[in-house]
Amino acid sequence: MGPHGCDDTKREIGHDEAEDCERAGDQTRRGGLTSMTLTVADHYEKHLGPIYTRMVGDVDAAISRSDAELDALPLPSTSGGTAVDLGAGFGLHSLPLARRGFSVVAIDSYEPLLKELVSRKGSLPISTVNADLLAFRAHTPKPVDVIVCMGDTLTHLPNHSAVELLFRDVAASLRPGGLFAATFRDYVSSPLQGDARFKLRLSPEWVVEHLSSLGLTTRCDAGPGGMIRITARMPGPTGAAEAFP
């Protein structure tokens, strides 16, 4: 077990990503804003969103890495199922989900990134929604098979109450046997410096506890790039909890 109550080891944040995040923090300070007055949503829209694609670097390589992330998940084998990508950006996970046969609802609050996704998706079954993540149920009225919230998106929510609300909506939206997967950084165990000053501090144990309390079978382990990975599954059609392989 690692230092966060999760299995395996973690890798460090990439050098380029760290530099870009720090530059975004410098721009914020030069603009006369501080972590006390700049919300996480403001930081995403005004600083992180505009440089996000550049931070990623080689987009094709990044999508391949996201594809490998999905390979590591126990995705339902439902043909023609529905997936929701919370914080979809320009489609790092939406695109490989759609290539697996899912109809994807890609939700993000930064419209320019969604426009990039539209330009990349071709004929893939992806619909984009420019909205707050907490409003995702308004755009997915039917039960869904998969919900993903990857790449530290959870820590962009304003507070723990918002995360609890999101988890309740996730549990209410998944079909029996459906899967929720998320990755995020553990800022509880690390000092808040640079870009991390704008992030919500979520402990892996807290996340596991709250998802489990909603009846989901939940697992925590180490994800790529130093992330914590959470996978949580709704009980199957018989109501029995399904263990992870």
Domain ranges (residues) in the chain: 15-233
DSSP 222-243: E-GGG-EEEEEE---TTS----
Please provide the CATH number assigned to the domain covering 15-233: 3.40.50.150
**Per-position pLDDT tens, the chain of length 245:** 444 446 443 333 333 343 444 434 433 333 333 333 345 555 455 545 445 556 666 778 888 999 999 999 999 876 789 999 999 999 999 999 999 999 999 999 889 989 999 999 999 999 999 999 999 999 998 999 999 999 889 988 989 999 999 999 999 999 999 999 999 999 887 666 666 567 889 999 999 999 999 999 999 999 988 899 999 999 987 655 666 66
pLDDT in tens, 13-47: 333 343 444 434 433 333 333 333 345 555 455 54
Which residue type, as a one-letter code, is found at position 30? R
Prediction pTM value: 0.78
